[in-house]
Structure 1
Amino acid sequence: MSWDSDLVDNVSDELFWDPKVDNVAIAVSAKAGTITLRGTVGSLREKREAKKAAQRVTGVLEVDNQLKVRLMDDAGRVDADIRGDVLQALMLDSLVPRTVDAKVLDGWVTLTGRVDWQYQRDEAEFVASNIVGALDVFNEIEIKNPKPNAGDLQESIKSAFKRNASLDAEGLHVSTDNGMVTVKGTVGSWAERDEAIDAAWSAPGVTAVRDDLTVTY
């Protein structure tokens, strides 16, 4: 069997194995290490979990997630109801500041506002993606951290890489520009890639992270 054929089998098995994903209506294909997911799922959360499952498989270089969200009863929800549920969920989450707002158009949720940290942006997006009827979430929340000293920021991120047992810090390179951090190099898995990007986001003063990492096996 070819490498791509093995990937299709392994990704399909991983989707079946993940209890958060209903793999019945998901088609998997592969080309040169890039996995494409097609079909329908019952929620945006399930669509994202399917992509994570595919990324966990050894040998997967990229995932093109073309899954469509469709409610199981095939009935849409009014945008105002979706927005109300999103705002209520955001308000109840202690990690999301009250400065975050949401609007909904045809089931597409857009998050706006300002926060201090990336984890707050991530949490708001996670919360919104769990709302029934949300077809996708656009995260336009801004980070308002003061701009750090470029040298201090670069060294603090490098130190974080070295402390992290899940990372090979020698293969990672960091550059900074006015709060924008670029991480380059090679990592051995998507999990390692996520660890590196999360570590970069955790440094005080970071307003954006550019992912130039390559996953190699």
Structure 2
Amino acid sequence: MRTQQMQTREETDPRDGWTRRLAAGLLALAPLVTYSSTAVAETDRDAQATTSRPSDEDIAAAVGRRLAGSFGENGGGLSAHADEGVVTLEGTASNLAIARRAVDLAETVRGVRAVVSQVSVSPESSADDATVVRNIRRAWLFDPATELLKLEASVNAGVARLTGSVGSHAEKHLAEEVVASIDGVVDIDNQIEVAYDERRTDREIHEELIGRLRSSVWIDPERVSVEVNDGDVTLKGEVESAAARRRAYHLAWIAGVQNVNHDQLEVAGTRRDDAQRPGRHPFPPDEAVERSLQAALQQDPRVDTSSVKVSVRNGTATLRGTVPTLQNKRAATRDARNTRGVWVVRNRLRVAPNARANDEDVGAQVNEALARDPFVNADFVRAAVIGGVAHLQGRVENEFDRRQAEKVTGSVRGVVEVLNELVVDTSWQDVDDSSMAQRLHDELWWSPHIYSKTIDLKVIDGAVVLDGKVESEFERRQVLRTIEDFGVRKIEDRLSVDRAP
């Protein structure tokens, strides 16, 4: 039955037309580079990158390749052009979350200073506003991180207006993130108020914010300064990417902050030399890392820290205790990996739901969540829950979809573990191993957070094999995330982290 379904999909897949031709054309235009320390082509381009920003034409082409490699039938109509490093995205997406992911992808391309989205959203369904409101409320209710928040939503012509009161900017942002994936939502007017428990002095805000920026692997603390005046925060300096710039903006919204201005926070126009790279700065002692990680966990609305204990030794962060949901456990891992000074994460948290759930009911909620997610084609993904363990089977188009299905499943209350048996089907890609390897080499160069020239990448029968060294766990994850989006069948990660200063 599964084979018959996949054949039907291939016969009707729109990517057999415009999108596949676009991807093939972009691949043919991509510069062919070798990602190794002895490559003359890359050495020349590295020398150029340390003196000037890539041209707008090259930036637009790189963003176009990233979009074509990451999106299937839902994103085939998106395009990009650049003007002095500012990328404008145009086209139509079937879901607001897809349009926002296009922005995320563009922000991770070297040379992009900012992204302006002119992507319109045209939902696939014809759900009326009342139905969309019900779906928003249901999504909030079934997400463990938002189920207790006092939120309201109204929808007019697809524009969702969110109201209510929460205790942090992170909760406000999370509530919007959940709504963005709802089919029928074309835009969001987030009017949720943040009610702080107490008023804080500018000095208190400044000290906490400096510590928060210093603890983030995304930010070079030596190149960013902070000013606070009556609760208004101004960020100045330089970051590695548009993605890091946005990350700094959200990090700045701590308790007591009334406004954040990051207009004077610029994206580096050239590639850093070896001495300036963030990975070469000395890392803080274990005690400081432990405090930073504890603070990050407490500020994350997806983590219940009431029974979580943190210890850091020689850069290895160990998490112990119990959490009520798998979402809590995975969010804690993510927070640890994003903390400067953490090299290895050992997550020994045990998922212990507050109440025993019926497997059949949990399975139904998982399948409903998968059907609601815009990135997962639920026609080819099946979930069954046995003893709280969710088993995922079926086929997806790339590693991002596979990872997304696992993320969605893990967010359902009652799921204590996910066994992801989804198979990445790359048959829709008419690209041989050699061409795919050349393309991935190029994409690694275009990532502003990947520096190492000692990465050896090979593609064998659609599977990627990675060897060599990187400077940090953060860089290693950037390598994996860059590759996962491009329709590879499997990734064998043999990269090692060189911790030498």
Counterparts in 2 of 1:168-207, with a 5 A limit?
168-201=220-253, 203-207=254-258
Task: Report the 3-state secondary structure (helix = DSSP H, G, I; strand = E; otherwise coil) of the residue aligned with 1:76.
Answer: coil
Matched, 1:134 2:185: yes
Q: Which residue of 1 aligns with 2:150?
A: 99
Shift of 1:185: 1.7
Going from structure 1 to structure 2, the CA distance change for 1:22 and 1:4 (only over 3 Å counts) comes to farther
Amino acid at match of 1:130: S
Matched with 2:436 is none
Q: Do structure 1's residue 16 and structure 2's residue 60 form an aligned pair?
A: no
Please list every run of 5 or more consecutive structure 2 residues that lacks an aligned counterpart in the other structure. Answer: 1-30, 32-53, 270-501
**Whole-angstrom distance in 2 between the partners of 1:33 and 1:192:** 15
Conserved 8 A contact 1:35-1:60:
yes
Which among 58, 81, 91 is matched to residue 131 of structure 2? 81
Query: Cα deviation per residue 1:131-173 (whole Å; 9 max; x = unaligned)?
Result: 1000011111111012212111101111222233432112212
Distance 1:20 1:49, change over 3 A: farther
Tell me the residue number matched to 1:161. Answer: 213
8 Å Cα contact 1:144/1:207 also seen in 2: no
Deviation at 1:23, TM superposition (A): 3.6
Indicate the structure (1 or 2) with the bigger Cα radius of gyration.
2
Moved more, 167-176 or 46-55: 167-176
Count residues in correspondence: 214
Q: Is the 8 A contact 1:34 1:63 kept in 2?
A: yes
Q: Are 1:144 and 2:190 counterparts?
A: no
Within 2, Cα distance between the matches of 1:99 and 1:33?
Answer: 40
Instruction: Output the CA distance in 2 between the equivalents of 1:181 and 1:20.
Output: 40
* Greater mean deviation of Cα atoms: 203-212 or 141-150: 203-212
Q: Which residue of 1 aligns with 2:119?
A: 67
| Residue in structure 1 matching 2:168, options 82, 106, 117 | 117
Q: Is the 2:166–2:193 Cα contact (8 Å) retained in structure 1?
A: yes
Q: Which amino acid aligns with 1:41?
A: A
Preserved contact between residue 61 and residue 215 of structure 1 (Cα < 8 Å): yes
* SS, match of residue 88 in structure 2: strand
Question: Residue in 1 aligned with 2:332?
Answer: none
Cα separation, 2, equivalents of 1:163 and 1:62: 24
Kindly state the Cα deviation for residue 76 of structure 1 after the two structures are TM-superposed.
3.1
Superposed, which structure 2 residues align to 1:21-32 within 5 Å? 22-32=74-84
Q: Percent identity?
A: 29
Give 1:21 deviation, angstroms.
Answer: 7.7
Q: Assess, with a 3 A threshold, how the Cα gap between structure 1 residues 166 and 51 changes in structure 2: closer, same or farther.
A: closer
Q: Work out the CA distance in 1 between the residues paired with 2:215 and 2:100.
A: 29
Deviation track 1:9-34 (CA, whole Å, cap 9, x = no partner) reads: 10011011224784421122222212
Q: Is the 8 A contact 2:104 2:243 kept in 1?
A: no
Output the CA distance in 2 between the equivalents of 1:166 and 1:153: 20
Q: Give the C-alpha shift of residue 206 in structure 1.
A: 2.8
TM-score by length of 1: 0.90
Backbone CA RMSD of aligned residues = 2.0
Q: Give yes or no for contact 1:21–1:50 (8 Å, CA) kept in 2.
A: no
Instruction: Sort the Cα spacing of 1:21 and 1:55 in 2 relative to 1 into closer, same or farther, 3 A.
Output: farther
Q: Which amino acid aligns with 1:106?
A: A
Please, which moves more after superposition, 18-27 or 31-40?
18-27
Q: Which stretch shifts more, 168-177 or 47-56?
A: 168-177
- C-alpha displacement of 1:86: 0.6
Aligned partners of 2:161 and 2:189 also within 8 Å: yes
- What is the Cα deviation at residue 89 of structure 1? 1.0
> Does the residue aligned with 1:124 lie in a helix, a strand or coil?
helix
CA separation of 1:120 and 1:33: change in aligned 2, threshold 3 A: same
TM-score (norm 2): 0.41
Structure 1 gaps, min length 5: none
